Amino acid sequence: MTNLASMIDLRSDVKSQPTAAMRKAMAEAAVGDDAAGEDPTVAELERRAAEITGKEAAVFVTSGTQGNLVSLLSLTRPGEEMIADEKAHLMHYEGGGCTRIAGLLPRLLPCRQGCLEPAEVADAISQGSTVRGRTGVVVMEDTHNLAGGVAVSPERLRAVAEVAWDAGVRVHLDGARIFNAAVALERPVPDFARWCDTITFCFSKSLGAPAGSVVCGKTEVIQRARVYRRMLGGAMRQAGHLAAAALIALDTMVDRLADDHRRARQIAETLVNLPGVEIDLTLVQTNMVYFRLCRGDISPEQFCEAMRQRGILVSGTEPRRGHFRLVTYHNINDVAVQKVCKALEETLGGAAC
């Protein structure tokens, strides 16, 4: 069995480990019954999250998936349509909650460099009829995972949001990695968050905390979100232990995201020089490196095993087609990146067939 603790794990930034400061804060946190609104550490985290995003209020939830679903439930009614792009995380990795639980009909549009196009959104919006539900929400994602981890600018979010709002449609932003976008584009988080009615972001990915996400929005929307959080089993008790780590993440892990981006770029620039590798360097903007392995002499499975033998864990997004994603985070330091680049050169340096 692979000893995961000894491996360089590039499969996702959800593999990140909490820092010593986070562990200490968790052990010493002042806690209470959060389901009853009595946990002081959770209350402080929610206050900070609302302040950081420029929203009125926030609610701590167990995960990004729960945060997205709570947001949809709070903004829409069953039977309405949801406009999202065809590569949206909530369509590929969230168990179909938007349809099965929120009762929304997805209307999927092309993903154009990580974002919807305003004109296409305008054409897709429905005011409702006897044969079609009205559009209840438009969903965007930043950074956009399946588009390569690209950072979507506030200007692009604004263009879509204005089309939606003009038609009376709410906007939700899946901002699981919004701090990566803010650091990459050197823009404050409120510049992004102002162009949505609700925004979620995660503490357990690049920020390195062990668990938790947050939903931010207007006070009345967050009050509804608390109701749906309980309905979904997310009203926790002494959740301050988790919130304490999230507070440390906000204080210590945001500015250093630029290091993750630099290290991802270093890996990408190694890959681009290897035979049989297809990679678009323009998409390597944050901590993700997407590439395709087009080799006749090494299968995707053989590539994963060869890297594992060299102490590195990788996984494919579409392994049968040779599509891979490598993700950096705070546990992947400069020494680790050097080992990764060397392993890639040793594994793929031969002539492609």
Decide if 353 is inside a domain.
Answer: no
> 149 and 280 share a domain?
no
Decide if 245 is inside a domain.
Answer: yes
Q: What average pLDDT does the segment 111-123 reach?
A: 97
Question: Considering the entire predicted model, what is its pTM?
Answer: 0.95
How high is the pLDDT of residue 353?
A: 38
How high is the pLDDT of residue 321?
A: 82
Domain of residue 287, residue span? 4-14+256-348
State which of 237, 252, 267 marks the end of a domain. 252
How high is the pLDDT of residue 327?
A: 98
Q: What average pLDDT does the segment 108-135 reach?
A: 97
Q: What percent of the chain has pLDDT over 90?
A: 94
Split into its structural domains, the chain has a count of 2
Least confident of 148-152, 204-208, 246-250, 349-353: 349-353
How high is the pLDDT of residue 6?
A: 85
Q: What average pLDDT does the segment 277-291 reach?
A: 97
> 79 and 223 share a domain?
yes
> 237 and 262 share a domain?
no
Amino acid, res. 324: F
Task: Kindly tell me if the per-residue pLDDT of 2 is higher than 70.
Answer: no
State which of 252, 286, 314 marks the end of a domain. 252
> 229 and 305 share a domain?
no
The whole-chain average pLDDT of the chain stands at 96
Task: Kindly tell me if the per-residue pLDDT of 187 is higher than 80.
Answer: yes
pLDDT category of residue 320 using cuts at 50, 70 and 90: confident
Task: Specify the CATH number for the domain of residue 286.
Answer: 3.90.1150.10
Decide if 105 is inside a domain.
Answer: yes
Q: Which two tokens stand for residue 64?
A: 């990004």
Task: Kindly tell me if the per-residue pLDDT of 279 is higher than 60.
Answer: yes
> 152 and 207 share a domain?
yes
> 96 and 192 share a domain?
yes
State which of 252, 281, 296 marks the end of a domain. 252
Please answer whether residues 80 and 135 qualify as being in contact, where contact means their C-beta atoms are separated by less than 8 angstroms: yes
Please answer whether residues 175 and 201 qualify as being in contact, where contact means their C-beta atoms are separated by less than 8 angstroms: yes
> 211 and 276 share a domain?
no
Task: Kindly tell me if the per-residue pLDDT of 345 is higher than 70.
Answer: yes
Distance from C-alpha of 78 to C-alpha of 80, rounded to nearest angstrom? 6
Which residues are within 8 A (CB) of 297 and not within 5 positions of it... i.e. 6 or more apart? 350, 351, 352, 353
Task: Kindly tell me if the per-residue pLDDT of 351 is higher than 60.
Answer: no
pLDDT category of residue 73 using cuts at 50, 70 and 90: very high
